[in-house]
Amino acid sequence: MADAVNMRDLTGMNLTNEEIGRYSRHLLLPEVGIEGQKRLKAARVLIVGTGGLGAPLALYLAAAGVGTIGLVDFDFVEESNLQRQIIHSTRDLGRPKVASAQDRIKSINPLVKVITHNTMLNSANALDILQDYDIVADGTDNYQTRYLVNDACVLLGIPNVYGSIFQFEGQASVFYAKEGPCYRCLYPEPPPPGLVPSCSEGGVLGVLPGIVGCIQANEVIKLIVQNSAPDSVNPAAPLIGRLLLFDAWKMSFRELKLEKDPHCPICGKQPTIHELIDYEQFCGLKKQETQVPVESISAKELKARIDSGSPIQIIDTREPHERAIVGFPNAKVIPLGQMIRRIDEFDPSIDAVFLCKIGQRSIYAIRELQEAGYKGRMFNLQDGINAWAKEVDPRLPQY
C-alpha cells in the first residue's frame, strides 16, 4: 500500500542529540528508526476536540514527537470533565480547553509546536483550518461535526482517524477516501435526533476514551511512519477499510470489514457533494417550520408557580439510576420510552412541566406527545434538574 500521508520534504531535517535521547525507544524499532522519527517531527496533526478522546490523543502524539499539533475546541473545562479528560486538571476549571491542553502538551514535550483554534468547527472555517494539516484525528462527540470532519477530509484528501465512545463501547477506524471508505460509506445517514444520547446524558466509563484515544494515536503514528523502513518484514497495517469495535465492560474486541460505497455522495464514483453543507440541518437539528414550538420555563419560574399553589403536573423523564443520584420532589415519573403509552395519565386541563438532566430528553418527550395529538400545554424545564440545583436548591448535587 502506498503512503497514506503525503509527508513534507525531509531534506535537511536532522534529529538533535536531545531528540535522539528523548525518542531513543522509537529509534530502536526498525519500523520507526531515524527516518520514521524525522517523519513524526515533520508531521502536522489536527485534533478536533480536546475532551475524552482528544486528551490521550494529544498526550501520546506529543510524547511521540509529532512536530506540530493543532487543537480545535471552543469549550471550557468543567468539573464533570475530569473523570475522563486527563489532559485537564482541577486547577484548569473554567479555562478554555485548548489553553489547558496546550500547557499540558508543552509540559510533556516542549519541542512540540502547538497551534490552538479556540473556535467551533463549522462549514465556514473547516476547510481553512484543516488544509494546513497532514492528518485529522476526530475526537468529537456529535454527529454533525463527524460528518463535517469527514466531508472536509475527503474534499482535501486528508486521512481522518476516527473514534467514538458511548457508555462502555468504543469504535475506531481510519477513513481515507483515496485508499478506502469514508465515514459516509459506513453511516450514510445520521440517526434521528435524540435516539443516541450524548455522554452527558447517557454516561461513559472514564477509562474508555483513554483506550480508544490511544488506539487513534497509534493509527496516527502508523500513518506517519509507515514505509519509513522499506525492507521491514513487519509493515504497518492502518485501520483503513476496517472498523474496530471495543467493549470495555466485557473486555472484547471485534473487527468489521468496511467496503467503499460506489454510491457514496462524497467519495463514490459520481459524487454529488462538492462543498461543505449545513450539517445541523443534515442531522435534523434545525427547527422545522411546521413544528409546534416548545415552551420553556426556568427553574426560578417553576419554583414561583409551585409556591403559588397553582395546579401543575411535573413529569420526570429520567431513568431510575439517574433519579437515584438526585430526585425531584412531587414529580410523576414517566421515562422517555414510556411516554406515549402512558399518555392517558396526563390531564390536558393542567399545565405540565417536563424535566430531565439538562433539558434535552424532556424536549423529545414533549415533541412525541405533540405528534401523538396531546392538546395540553407543556413546558420544558430549561437546563433541567441541574438548573434547579444551581438556581433554586443548591443543597442538591449537579451531575
CA 137 from chain centre, in angstroms, equals 11
The Cα–Cα gap between 5 and 261 comes to: 22
Greatest Cα pair distance, the chain, in angstroms, is: 81
Which among 84, 88, 52, 57 has a CA at the least distance from the CA of 70? 57
Q: Which residues contact 187 (CB under 8 A, 6 or more apart)?
A: none
All three cell numbers of 169: 463501547
Spatial contact of 191 and 364, defined as CB atoms under 8 Å apart = no
Residues known to be catalytic: 199, 356
Q: Which residues contact 40 (CB under 8 A, 6 or more apart)?
A: 23, 26, 64, 65, 66, 67, 221, 224, 225
Report H helices in 85-207. 97-108, 126-130, 143-156, 183-186, 199-202
All three cell numbers of 165: 465512545
3-class DSSP state of 8: coil
